[in-house]
Amino acid sequence: MSNDNTAGIGPLSGITVIDLTRVLAGPYCTLLMADLGARVIKVEQPSIGDDSRQIGPFLDDESAYFMSINRNKESIALDLKMDIDKSIFESLLEQADVLVENFRPGTMERLGYSWEVLHQRYPKLIFTSVSGFGQTGPYSKRPAYDMVVQAMGGIMSLTGQPGGPPTRVGVSIGDLGAGLYAMIGTQAALLQRERTGKGERVDVAMLDCQVALLENSIARYEVDKKIPQPIGSRHPSITPFDVFKAKDGWMVVAAGNDMLFQRLCDILNLPNLKVDERFSTNPLRCVNHQQLKEELEKRLCDETCKHWINLLVENNIPTGEYNNLAQVLESPQIQEREMLLDVFSKNGRKLTVAGNPIHIGSFVAKVKRNPPTLDQDRQEIIKGLNFD
């Protein structure tokens, strides 16, 4: 299914994705594919559309939330309980490479589009499902949002300050992680199709993704049998690897091995710390992390963040500013890497959104289509189908 706006552009050019997803996890998966050149046709509920169209803040009457994750997509409104709209949907599937949905398990079956039915009718179709708990297991049919899987998956138990209340990660890592894994799984299934000629079912659970993102927490628990607790900003196994207070604000220092720690002591002119037995190895520094932090902050508070960051960077010590969002948007590094993109509402109002971090050769994701209004592309989409 060709599209003048995406044809020949990006590594996924020539791939057509039918997108039944809404809110964040699924739309984030299809956003990444659209950015990389796939044609993404967003199938939405008539009159209402994607749930995120009703989530603020709003630019005039358009949701900035929706606009931030639905660029480079087309929109058609279909009621999959109506015969005429089912016929249009099935015509789309005949020419599609990928179908992505994030309904609760069982919904596609009730609509008549189980994996078994789809695979028989469209044997080359990749069918990607993103759900809270996956297609199997005792919790499979339960509803979920990001907050639910952050809590159930353990990440919330590791986040925040010692002794504080349960704390959600500041971005929707439950949704975003699932969207990323769904995108990876879909690309792997497309590659496998090149070898076998057959489509595959990709089943991604938000809860599974949270467990996969627990990094070394499971391994640490298995070794020492101590349940990990929130420890603030520091790393549980590497010290110094934390946020530190300087004269005029906060900065981060990540001296991830003994050599870097020794060099840090030299740069800060703290020779006593180099020979202090409490800090002679990384395991000892982790045990005595609070004492070390106090010693380092005494010195760091003598000068500004800028002074120390410049000095540490010159000496190849990993360090950085503690930036708020406004400062991130002004960062020359972020701007040079084209990590900020402008999309426009139907009334021409500009909205700056996060770009795509995947650079492949000379290819960098651009805005080829602004986020669509509901059913915006109906005529164009139907015109390209074998549909009367």
What contacts 123, CB < 8 A, 6 or more positions away? 198, 199
Q: Could you give the CA distance from residue 94 to residue 274 in angstroms, rounded to a whole number? A: 68
- DSSP 8-state assignment for residue 373: P
Rounded to whole angstroms, what are the CA distances from 145 to 19, 24, 111, 175? 19, 10, 23, 8
Cα gap 88→106, rounded to integer Å: 22
Confirm whether 359 is a catalytic residue.
no
* Cβ contacts of 26 within 8 Å, gap of 6 or more: 19, 20, 100, 101, 102, 130, 179, 182
Residue 372 to residue 312: CA distance in whole angstroms: 46
Q: What is the dihedral sign for C-alpha 156, 158, 161, 163?
A: positive
Nearest by Cα to 136 from 208, 190, 212: 208
DSSP state of 103: P
Query: Residues 247, 302: contact at Cβ < 8 Å?
Result: yes
Phi, psi of 225 (to 5 degrees): 60, 25
Q: Of 235, 289, 307, 359, which is the active-site residue?
A: 235
- The full length of the chain comes to 388
Catalytic residues: 235
